[in-house]
């Protein structure tokens, strides 16, 4: 028999009754039923119940066993009584009577329990990640991640792509985040960088004629952490293609991601039609360039209804250039209680508040106020039909702008009795993000967001340039290496009107994919950088490898990268990306388990010609 096991803890069933078997695993749970010990023995594959009574030659040793000890047992497979069968596990029809025991690894007192659903601080979980990963949910998440990556690879190979590896030690790259720098021992005072992405290398592969490239690529960025972003490293499905248009890239990556979400989405609906939404429209309708289309709410501009109105705050605001008023429709949100709650939300977000109107059935109070009679008389008139009932607008805004304007707003937004609308005003950049978060909260609280669905949208037509708020000068707004729509001719006109062949894919409020058709013509690249204040010499100095290559017959090319961690996070229905990464850092970019970052030894610093200046 094998030294450690004849079967895994998920393999035994009724056909094995009477067999002598050997199992190895961890003690998941110990139960003492009147002198009979029942132990759930767990390995990576499943659980088998083993039992031991005083007739067993190793009963005394078995009594010493505790949770998470690693043990080997030999025993005989027995059928469980019919009323004790456990249908929830594959081995639920049998149990193993222990004849021999070997402790492979005893365990100290546990800092966190593997069995059960106890919550522990993240710092504890990350310090003892090797124990945290033994928990069932984490085992399933990591298996899911592995299976998703394997599926991605197969789907890319099936489309004629080959996987190539790019360097991990390279030069600093302009990806928009901070680099992790690596000092050179052989070249004192100089530094390599860990790649923020394989961007330049994959473009150089297209120049080299490889046509279709992909890689499950590690990327390194020194970023501030968020729930959906690692502060140090992440993985992406990276791809690039030659002789393609923007639509060709979409047609390539869509079936890969649709297939993955259908295969691993647990039966949730996967949208088949992925709309193309301009960056400008996404900001207007959703307040973000990564909208959650499961939420049907679309914001609209309603400035004209407030110009010259009795609501002085908005009327005066609209006299300033570049301002507008936007409405967030809230179907079924027509109660003062809900409107007040959303107004409080806006205040918590740092705004003075959020105006609102809600529509309701006409009340006796409002009729009494309108006709100057008592509420009792108004009730009688409504009941007798002497006063027409119907709908009325309520809320401070409605009183200030009057019935004609509120009715026009209602009709524009397509609202009815029991609905509401919320209003924000100013320069869009100042309130768009808050409006987007308010839209999300409204959709969630009113039950409008379909949680059992994956909704995708391509965000396209990103602006290449913007005016820097601090300097007042023209600068890049998005990827400077995207091909401008219209090429050189577009760059001869208004730079703020130039749109790039750049695109993101949003799903359920997260950015999953980012990519572009690349600017492969040096003269167009130099012109774009010149508009942003970067001369040709500086471009050649910073991006010399790519510029040099583009002078030798570069093909048109483009591609994208899909975030593996974020995709798995959505599929696993987790809200924090650290739940789907094997050994993540904490919020302060620290590895508590391996004690990183750590102080280097003096010998290491001398070898690298470095000196650490103590912080004051």
- For the residues 500-514, what does the mean pLDDT come to? 97
Residue 425: which domain range? 295-449
Quickly state the pLDDT bin for 366 (edges 50, 70, 90). low
Indicate whether 517 and 588 sit together in one domain. no
Give the Cα separation of 298 and 468 in Å (integer).
Answer: 29
Residue with tokens 């012109």: 527
616 is an annotated ligand-binding site residue: no
Indicate whether 544 and 561 sit together in one domain. no
pLDDT at residue 383 above 70? no
Indicate whether 148 and 227 sit together in one domain. yes
Indicate whether 300 and 445 sit together in one domain. yes
- For the residues 3-12, what does the mean pLDDT come to? 97
CA neighbor of 550 nearest in space, from 465, 462, 463, 483: 483
77 is an annotated ligand-binding site residue: no
pLDDT tens for each residue of 35-69 = 899 999 999 999 999 999 999 999 999 999 999 99
566 is an annotated ligand-binding site residue: yes
Give the HSE-up count for residue 144: Cα atoms under 13 Å, Cβ half-sphere. Answer: 26
For the chain, percent of residues with pLDDT exceeding 90: 83
pLDDT tens for each residue of 210-255 = 999 999 999 999 988 788 888 899 999 999 999 999 999 999 999 9
410 is an annotated ligand-binding site residue: no
Q: How many residues does the chain have?
A: 616
Residue 470 neighbours by CB distance under 10 Å: 6
Assigned domain for 317 exists? yes
11 is an annotated ligand-binding site residue: no
Assigned domain for 259 exists? no
Contact 562, 513 (CB under 8 A): yes
pLDDT tens for each residue of 161-220 = 999 999 999 988 665 678 999 999 999 999 999 999 999 999 999 999 999 999 999 999
Residue 364 has what pLDDT? 64
- For the residues 5-21, what does the mean pLDDT come to? 97
Assigned domain for 355 exists? yes
Task: Provide the domain count of the chain.
Answer: 4
Assigned domain for 513 exists? yes
**The CATH number of the domain where 536 resides is what?**
3.30.930.10
Quickly state the pLDDT bin for 385 (edges 50, 70, 90). low
**The CATH number of the domain where 85 resides is what?**
2.40.50.140
Indicate whether 132 and 55 sit together in one domain. no
pLDDT tens for each residue of 572-581 = 999 999 999 9
pLDDT tens for each residue of 265-290 = 999 999 999 999 999 999 999 999 99
Assigned domain for 372 exists? yes
Quickly state the pLDDT bin for 390 (edges 50, 70, 90). low
Indicate whether 225 and 178 sit together in one domain. yes
Asked if the peptide bond before residue 373 counts as cis, ω within 30 degrees of 0, the response is: no
CA neighbor of 170 nearest in space, from 553, 543, 444: 543
Assigned domain for 236 exists? yes
Indicate whether 346 and 394 sit together in one domain. yes
pLDDT tens for each residue of 321-343 = 999 999 999 999 999 999 999 99
Residue 374 has what pLDDT? 67
DSSP per residue, 4-63: S-SS-TTT--GGGTT-EEEEEEEEEEEEEETTEEEEEEE-SS-EEEEEE-TTSTTHHHHT
Residue 174 has what pLDDT? 60
370 is an annotated ligand-binding site residue: no
Domain end residue (candidates: 105, 135, 151):
105
42 is an annotated ligand-binding site residue: no
Domain end residue (candidates: 503, 528, 554):
554
Indicate whether 300 and 433 sit together in one domain. yes
Assigned domain for 9 exists? no
Indicate whether 227 and 147 sit together in one domain. yes
pLDDT at residue 389 above 60? no
Indicate whether 496 and 512 sit together in one domain. yes
Quickly state the pLDDT bin for 34 (edges 50, 70, 90). confident
Residue 175 has what pLDDT? 58
563 is an annotated ligand-binding site residue: yes
CA distances to 72, 363, 369, 381, 486 from 375, in Å: 82, 9, 8, 10, 67
Give the Cα separation of 412 and 300 in Å (integer).
Answer: 9
**The CATH number of the domain where 404 resides is what?**
3.30.1360.30
Indicate whether 85 and 202 sit together in one domain. no
Assigned domain for 284 exists? no
Indicate whether 304 and 440 sit together in one domain. yes
95 is an annotated ligand-binding site residue: no
Mean pLDDT of the chain: 93
511 is an annotated ligand-binding site residue: yes
Give the Cα separation of 526 and 534 in Å (integer).
Answer: 8
222 is an annotated ligand-binding site residue: yes
Domain end residue (candidates: 449, 479, 497):
449
């Amino acid at each position: 028999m094998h030294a450690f096991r004849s079967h895994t803890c998920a393999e035994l069933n009724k056909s094995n009754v009477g067999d002598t078997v050997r199992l190895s695993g961890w003690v998941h749970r110990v139960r003492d039923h009147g002198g009979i010990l029942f132990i759930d023995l767990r390995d990576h594959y499943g659980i088998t119940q083993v039992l031991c009574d005083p007739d067993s030659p190793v009963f005394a040793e078995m009594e010493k066993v505790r949770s998470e000890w690693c043990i080997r047992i030999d025993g005989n497979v027995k059928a469980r009584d019919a009323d004790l069968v456990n249908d929830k596990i594959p081995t639920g029809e049998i149990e193993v009577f222990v004849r021999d025991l070997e402790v492979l690894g005893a365990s100290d007192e546990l800092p966190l329990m593997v069995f059960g659903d106890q919550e522990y601080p993240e710092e504890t979980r990350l310090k003892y990640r090797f124990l945290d990963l033994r928990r069932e949910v984490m085992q399933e998440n990591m298996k899911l991640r592995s299976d998703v990556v394997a599926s991605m690879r197969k789907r890319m190979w099936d489309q004629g792509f080959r996987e190539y590896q790019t360097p991990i030690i390279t030069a600093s790259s302009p990806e928009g985040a901070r680099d992790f720098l690596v000092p050179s021992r052989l070249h004192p005072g100089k530094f390599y960088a860990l790649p923020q992405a394989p961007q330049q290398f994959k473009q150089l592969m297209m120049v080299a004629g490889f046509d279709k490239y992909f890689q499950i690529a590690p990327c390194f960025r020194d970023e501030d952490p968020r729930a959906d972003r690692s502060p140090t490293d992440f993985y992406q499905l990276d791809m690039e293609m030659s002789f393609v248009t923007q639509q060709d890239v979409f047609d390539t990556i869509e079936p890969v991601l649709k297939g993955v979400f259908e295969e691993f989405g647990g039966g949730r609906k996967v949208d088949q039609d992925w709309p193309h939404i301009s960056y400008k429209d996404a900001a207007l309708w959703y307040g973000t360039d990564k909208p959650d289309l499961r939420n049907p709410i679309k914001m609209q501009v309603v400035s004209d209804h407030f110009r010259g109105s009795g609501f002085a705050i908005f009327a005066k605001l609209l006299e300033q250039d570049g301002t507008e008023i936007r409405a967030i429709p809230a179907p079924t949100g027509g109660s003062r209680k809900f409107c007040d709650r959303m107004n409080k939300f806006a205040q918590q977000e740092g705004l003075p508040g959020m105006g609102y109107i809600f529509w309701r059935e006409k009340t006796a109070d409002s009729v009494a106020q309108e006709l100057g009679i008592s509420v009792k008389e108004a009730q009688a008139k409504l009941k007798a039909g002497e006063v027409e009932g119907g709908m009325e607008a309520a809320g401070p805004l409605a009183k200030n702008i009057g019935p004609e304007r509120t009715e026009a707003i209602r009709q524009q937004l397509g609202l009815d009795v029991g609905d509401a609308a919320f209003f924000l005003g100013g320069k869009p950049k100042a309130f768009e993000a808050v409006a987007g978060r308010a839209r999300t909260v409204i959709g969630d609280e009113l039950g409008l967001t379909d949680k059992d669905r994956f909704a995708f949208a391509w965000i396209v037509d990103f602006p290449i340039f913007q005016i820097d708020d601090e300097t007042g000068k023209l600068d890049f707004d998005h990827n400077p290496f995207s091909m401008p729509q219209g090429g050189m001719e577009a760059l001869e006109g208004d730079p703020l009107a130039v749109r790039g062949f750049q695109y993101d894919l949003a799903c359920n409020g997260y950015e999953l994919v980012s990519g572009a058709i690349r600017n492969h013509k040096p003269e167009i690249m130099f012109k774009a950088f010149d508009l942003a204040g970067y001369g040709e010499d500086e471009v050649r100095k910073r991006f010399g490898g790519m510029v040099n290559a583009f002078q030798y017959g570069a093909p048109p090319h483009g591609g994208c990268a899909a975030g593996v961690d974020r995709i798995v996070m959505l599929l696993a229905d987790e809200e924090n990306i650290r739940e789907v990464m094997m050994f993540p850092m904490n919020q302060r970019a620290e590895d508590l388990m391996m004690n990183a970052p750590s102080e280097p030894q003096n010998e290491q610093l001398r070898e690298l010609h470095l000196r650490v200046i103590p912080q004051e």
